[in-house]
Chain A
Amino acid sequence: MSDAKAGRSGPTTSTYALIPKPANLQCMDLQEYLRTRTAETLEKLYNYPTICLAVYRELPEIARQFVIRILFVEQPVPQAVVASWGSQHYAKEQAASTACLTELNVWRVTAIPGGLSAWELCPTFKKNLKIALLGGGKPWSMSHTLEKDSKPRDIAFLDTYAMARWRCVLHYMVGTGSSNKAQDSEGISPDAVRILLHANLMKRDERDGITITRQGFQFLLLDTQSQVWHFMLQYLDTCEERGLSLPDCLSMLFQLSFSTLGRDYSSEGMSPKMLTFLQHLREFGLVFQRKRKEGRFYPTRLALNVTNKHAAVPAVIAEDDKAQESGYIVVETNYRVYAYTDSPLQVAVLGLFTELLYRFPNLVVGVLTRDSVRQALRGGITADQIVSYLEQYSHPNMKLTESAIKSKSPLPPTVVDQIKLWELERNRFTYTEGVVYNQFLSQADFVTLRDYAQSINVLVHMNERTRTMVVTKNGHDDVKRFWKRYSKSGG
């Protein structure tokens, strides 16, 4: 920042890095994930109809309408025409959608005769989205015809299987895997451990053991669907190292995600690498396969609609469908938490933010206190995470109370508010990145620069006595330029 002094004595500037906040778990959705990819990667990804379909569903709603309207138009569409499709009152939303389409490389600008610029869908994307919608092209890799399974697996079986496998991973994280029942004791493969380490959900401690990290605890608080998605993203990060191709894996993942629950699919014709990938998915419970060598597998609920957590739960309960995994937590207005569980995993998670009082064979009683919640907050867990965890696993009876039906949340509103207030207590600082200007030679210099900074709304703080001022990081360049001009003109 020494150039700010512009050769002659003037105010010195120095940037202050933010006080490092504890690294929190970053959960990306598909759109954010794709934004971090390069254009070439995206182009490669769009070669798969499945990925195009998944990307389309993740677009903002206005963007989806735009894409579908130009999907069947052969020539590029002038930008002005596209802009006229949206209402003026929602120009902001429309601009965001347009930007999103550009960033994801779904469409691009081209020039058309007459000197106007126009939008044109990326040809690969266009072709493959059309294939997904209307047909044509090659079948997806896992849809070879199969003979009828002699022992087809039903949905209930798949659900139990998937949850058992997934819990295995979670149990391993809280370190309760080995002490539990026989099926858990098989533990998880070194590959899975590597992913956990890579994702920073676990770390090696001094004695070369493996312990869960702060992010790991936050991870446990997520709902299962988000856990799977986050975990798979981390897996995809490392898949290149394993010699797997990212587009292949991602397309396979989405194929699973678009498959029908309770139906069997064929792994015939898959490359050996994809078969390895399938084995990994099998380990995490995303697919069920009787034997490693069997050319038939069933996707489970975990794999379905990986990107959208609401889609996993059926929005319409079929007449004969029984409730799936039910909640077990009761929260009372006196901050007491009763959990009907004997799972060490669930107790461990609950222990993160409650003070446990009693343990019975099938019941744990805890209480939410300021201290216990603050401890969790200090650990980087947010109030929203706590609330959503309690909501997610609340006992079915909680959902039937009058207040639950009215307010949509099964938790007592007082408790929810208090947890949020406890979080707010801690957020009394707002952090703004900035640049300090000090050691002004004269009061006049200081006043000029301060007034300028104030006029363009970048002044964060100033102290006239010590002739110190702080401007925002974005404003720094402007103020610096102004100072150079000012000092050159001999002010």
Chain B
Amino acid sequence: MNKQQDVESNKFSLLVIVLDTNPSQRIVRQNAQLLTQCVDAIIAFGNAHLMQCSQNKLAVLSCHHHATDFLYPLPGKQLDVRQIDGQYEVFSLVEKTVKQRLSHIITNSPKLNTPCESILAGSMAMALCYISRIQRNAAAGVKMHSRILVVTGSNECASQYMTYMNVFFTAQKLGITIDVCAMDKTMSLLQQGCDITGGQYLRLTQLDGLLQYLLWVFLPDPQMRQKLVLPPATKVDYRAACFCHRELIDIGYVCSVCLSIFCKFSPICTTCHTVFKIPGPMPIKPKKKKKV
């Protein structure tokens, strides 16, 4: 028993929360109060993660409409936070830092005239760089599990398709789990990411009880999730987005040279400038007619 615990305890888990703070999210536009509520829940959730084990690590990124910034930890010296109430010093530090950084970012951000998309994929890429740095510095013999939790109320945008895919495959290669909590629309691309990396995807229809949901679904480490009953994985839509219009398609044309996807036949590939031979009577055509 003791021996086993020894083996188990020589590990820690790093949680990177990517929080979408873009003011063009529908829920924020309707009620700005909700963002505050959401940030409070995220802080409590992050602290609950730190509470699991003293070695656990936390990082919080904000994905704002113009830039991505670390809310916690600060790159250099941390804030000097003293206890003001019974809260554990480390937790107070997280809370203070996140709130201070976030208000700084919001007040200093350029004015937004038209709603714009959140650049979540880039923020996730940044999170991966951070994780890989921590991984490099992990002491020998210490096992590290990392995961990324994306909390967003944005719409999906296919224009980041390539970045998303690169992020997902990198995460898969490094054994990093990607969890997604969608607060508004269904995010089918992020859902693919969860599926590829073995993470949990949860779509909330209302924000009441956000913290309770977070604690239930996302607090357990991926390693211990099998011991608990969690919402079942939904079927994932693995359709591709075409390169020409960035729309999800069922049937498309793929360039044999570079594997670019197009929704219509075109005589020249826009990616690799290959000239295609005009399709003669395709062998599949007659069969198709027969079938339909």
Chain A residues close to B by CB (< 8 Å): 49-50, 53, 56-57, 61-62, 64-65, 68-69, 72, 84-87, 89-90, 93-94, 128, 131-140, 143, 145, 258-260, 305, 308, 310-311, 313-319, 384, 399, 408
Interface string of B51-92 (1 = CB under 8 A from A): 111110100000000000000000000000011111111111
Q: Count residues on chain B whose CB falls below 8 Å from chain A CBs.
A: 45
Contact A143 B82 (CB under 8 A): yes
B248 interfacial by beta-carbon distance below 8 Å: no
Interface string of B182-207 (1 = CB under 8 A from A): 00000000000000000000000000
16 residue pairs from A and B, CB less than 8 Å apart: A50-B88, A53-B88, A57-B53, A61-B227, A64-B52, A69-B215, A86-B229, A89-B226, A131-B85, A132-B87, A143-B83, A308-B9, A310-B55, A314-B139, A315-B12, A319-B137
Contact B87 A87 (CB under 8 A): no
Chain B residue with the shortest CB-CB distance to A49: B86
Interface string of B78-115 (1 = CB under 8 A from A): 00001111111111100100000000000000000000
Minimum-distance CB pairs A-B, first 3: A137-B86, A135-B87, A143-B83
B144 interfacial by beta-carbon distance below 8 Å: yes
B253 interfacial by beta-carbon distance below 8 Å: no
Q: Which residues of B sit under 8 angstroms from A258, Cβ to Cβ?
A: 88-90
Chain A residue with the shortest CB-CB distance to B134: A316
B93 to chain A, nearest CB (A): 9
Contact A260 B89 (CB under 8 A): yes
Contact B139 A135 (CB under 8 A): no
How far, in angstroms, from A259 to B90 measured CA to CA in the complex? 8
Chain A residue with the shortest CB-CB distance to B50: A133
Chain A residue with the shortest CB-CB distance to B216: A69
From the candidates B54, B91, B140, B228, name the one contacting A399 in the complex (CB within 8 A). Answer: B140
Given the known inter-chain contacts A57-B52, A319-B137, please indicate yes or no for A140 contacting B86, CB distance below 8 A. yes
Contact A87 B54 (CB under 8 A): no
A465 to chain B, nearest CB (A): 41
Q: Which residues of B sit under 8 angstroms from A314, Cβ to Cβ?
A: 139
How far, in angstroms, from A35 to B229 measured CA to CA in the complex? 29
Given the known inter-chain contacts A86-B228, A315-B55, please indicate yes or no for A72 contacting B89, CB distance below 8 A. no
How far, in angstroms, from A143 to B93 measured CA to CA in the complex? 14
Q: Which residues of B sit under 8 angstroms from A259, Cβ to Cβ?
A: 89
B48 interfacial by beta-carbon distance below 8 Å: yes
A308 to chain B, nearest CB (A): 6
B212 interfacial by beta-carbon distance below 8 Å: yes
B57 to chain A, nearest CB (A): 7
A1 to chain B, nearest CB (A): 33
B129 interfacial by beta-carbon distance below 8 Å: no
B10 interfacial by beta-carbon distance below 8 Å: yes
B125 interfacial by beta-carbon distance below 8 Å: no
Contact B89 A310 (CB under 8 A): no
B224 interfacial by beta-carbon distance below 8 Å: yes
Given the known inter-chain contacts A131-B87, A137-B85, A315-B12, please indicate yes or no for A84 contacting B229, CB distance below 8 A. yes
Contact B9 A53 (CB under 8 A): no
Q: Which residues of B sit under 8 angstroms from A137, Cβ to Cβ?
A: 85-86
Contact A316 B227 (CB under 8 A): no
A450 to chain B, nearest CB (A): 35
B122 interfacial by beta-carbon distance below 8 Å: no
A408 to chain B, nearest CB (A): 6
Given the known inter-chain contacts A317-B139, A319-B137, please indicate yes or no for A136 contacting B85, CB distance below 8 A. yes
CB proximity to A under 8 Å, residues B209-246: 211-212, 215-216, 219-221, 224, 226-229
From the candidates B54, B92, B137, name the one contacting A135 in the complex (CB within 8 A). Answer: B92
B127 to chain A, nearest CB (A): 16
Q: Which residues of A sit under 8 angstroms from B86, Cβ to Cβ?
A: 49, 128, 131-132, 135-140
Q: Which of A86, A128, A143, A319 has the most CB of B within 10 A?
A: A143
Q: Which of A53, A87, A136 has the most CB of B within 10 A?
A: A87
Chain B residue with the shortest CB-CB distance to A307: B54
Chain A residue with the shortest CB-CB distance to B220: A65
Q: Which residues of A sit under 8 angstroms from B87, Cβ to Cβ?
A: 49, 131-136
How far, in angstroms, from A93 to B139 measured CA to CA in the complex? 30
CB proximity to A under 8 Å, residues B141-159: 141-142, 144
